[in-house]
Structure 1
């Protein structure tokens, strides 16, 4: 019973889109997409596999382009919800609810959203191509500044006197890794022998950057003043910074191309349109602040997206 109520609630929430579909005379016998298959008929109108998948995507149960197994429980649940939507929409039309002025405005708003989404999807599809992704990646690699990466281990101690004691033990042949586990005050690195992995000095505190400038593999550096004490650092390796791989950079490049193309589209449309703001903000009213997770404006296409450093290995 509860599942049925939830299904009805979902159908009511999507009623405006269902009414729009009825107005367009949807549900014909011709497959709307290549390879589409009929799932059911509602008063002679066909429900297609693509209809069911679109409902699952709309509810966030699968991603765009993800498969949906027609034998799965989720597919059957979505089929029931699509059928319920069509039944409710058809009944609403029979009662002439689609002629109500409020309904007409809501249907028009739904139509605007759907058409806007379709334009954005098509525009983004034209921009986010493998050729454009690879081209921007290669451009970024040409512009990237090559720097040195250092791999090092550290032992963080309370005082310079303790650091001098540890240096004597190291000179006598003691294991750096063992001393790090035994004596280091840094909880983040002591249990892996003080290993800091590979890093560029510009991401480290200034004291590390200064002390490690020009360091060579095998060199013991320090004591370096750090928060809560001093650090002894042994340089394990020095190499050219490894460039980020195409696959690691791909999500960032896709976001850049997406936001950039949508921004350009909106700028062009606003430039051509005759816009007039009729409702002015009241004097002294606070300005709207975008949410913290809102995407920042992408830079112009001539600038590549910010270079992400390769992961330490």
Structure 2
């Protein structure tokens, strides 16, 4: 016997919608080019695209990611889709789909599906590789790349201990070896105190002041931080490298999707007669409440602007600082 799916209780609320959408199914015609049938439930065909859509809805795979039909994940989601259809058929047999409450829920789900399809058709269909590359090139042109610094850290509890570290380094001891032996920062001591490359703007204030204008090869400190007394060695300085087009693509696509939906909803609200019947209601903001949120900024970038017209996401992002205490 096939094991019961752990998602059945969670999915039960949407089974009536599946039943409504699936009514009249069982066609042998593939819904998408290259699609293939993967199961049949009481004469109704389940297609690979049905399973992929469910996996995307659950956040198990991305919209553009492949889902191998031979994978364990595909089989698990297929089992859930089969369970959905079995429960939906049984709900229909019992006449649950005929109640007024069921009809309202089915209509609400139908509207959500149609809205998603409109976005897929009108908005997603207009996001071309050329549009993505145009925004990417413009952002690269406008980006003010910062200088990245690679430093090593030895953190001590007290200033006398940090002074002793300076003395040992002055005698020619390797910074990495002293860090491994003496540093109290467990996050970096086993890598020779290596903090990696980062821009000064994301560092704690004490580090910013100590490292500013210090050339590669210099030893800095000791100076006091929240976690103790720090001694740093500047390993390298270089200009920050922006991400490639492929690395930036997902964030740019999210921005273009957000802008497309915002403009579409703005246009639809402008044409429609909408009256909110709540007491003391204030005029709605310019941005439709159902518009998706703009893409979250990457680490080291500023937050999204408050204006309804979001700015394209910056393509250069600085790494977050490691904790040193």
TM-score range, shorter chain: 0.7 to 0.9
State the Cα distance separating 1:100 from its structure 2 match: 4.2
Judging changes above 3 Å, is the alpha-carbon distance between structure 1 residues 12 and 70 closer, same or farther for their aligned structure 2 residues? farther
CA distance in 2: counterparts of 1:12 and 1:41, whole angstroms: 22
Judging changes above 3 Å, is the alpha-carbon distance between structure 1 residues 117 and 164 closer, same or farther for their aligned structure 2 residues? same
Is 1:189 the counterpart of 2:188? The answer is: yes
Is 1:309 the counterpart of 2:317? The answer is: yes
CA-to-partner distance for each residue in 1:101-157, whole Å, 9 max, x for gaps? Answer: 334333322221221121122234224433222222222111111221111112222
State the Cα distance separating 1:200 from its structure 2 match: 1.2
Equivalent residue for 1:286?
A: none
Q: Check the 8 A contact 2:48/2:69 in 1, yes or no.
A: no
Question: 5 Å matches for 1:69-88?
Answer: 69=69, 73-74=75-76, 77=79, 80-81=82-83, 84=86, 87-88=89-90
CA-to-partner distance for each residue in 1:18-53, whole Å, 9 max, x for gaps? Answer: 23543xx4444544333445567777x652425752
Structure 2 residue runs of 5 or longer lacking an equivalent are 282-288, 296-303, 321-325
Secondary structure of the corresponding residue to residue 169 of structure 1 = helix
Structure 1 residue runs of 5 or longer lacking an equivalent are 283-289
State the Cα distance separating 1:218 from its structure 2 match: 0.9
Is 1:252 the counterpart of 2:254? The answer is: no
CA distance in 2: counterparts of 1:228 and 1:19, whole angstroms: 61
Q: Check the 8 A contact 2:8/2:80 in 1, yes or no.
A: no
State the Cα distance separating 1:89 from its structure 2 match: 6.2
Q: Matched residue pairs, number? A: 297
| Structure index of larger Rg | 1
Secondary structure of the corresponding residue to residue 114 of structure 1 = helix
Equivalent residue for 2:286?
A: none
CA distance in 2: counterparts of 1:244 and 1:84, whole angstroms: 47
User: How high is the TM-score relative to the length of structure 2?
Assistant: 0.74
CA distance in 1: counterparts of 2:294 and 2:163, whole angstroms: 49
CA distance in 1: counterparts of 2:224 and 2:138, whole angstroms: 40
CA distance in 2: counterparts of 1:68 and 1:35, whole angstroms: 14
Equivalent residue for 1:276?
A: 275
State the Cα distance separating 1:59 from its structure 2 match: 6.7
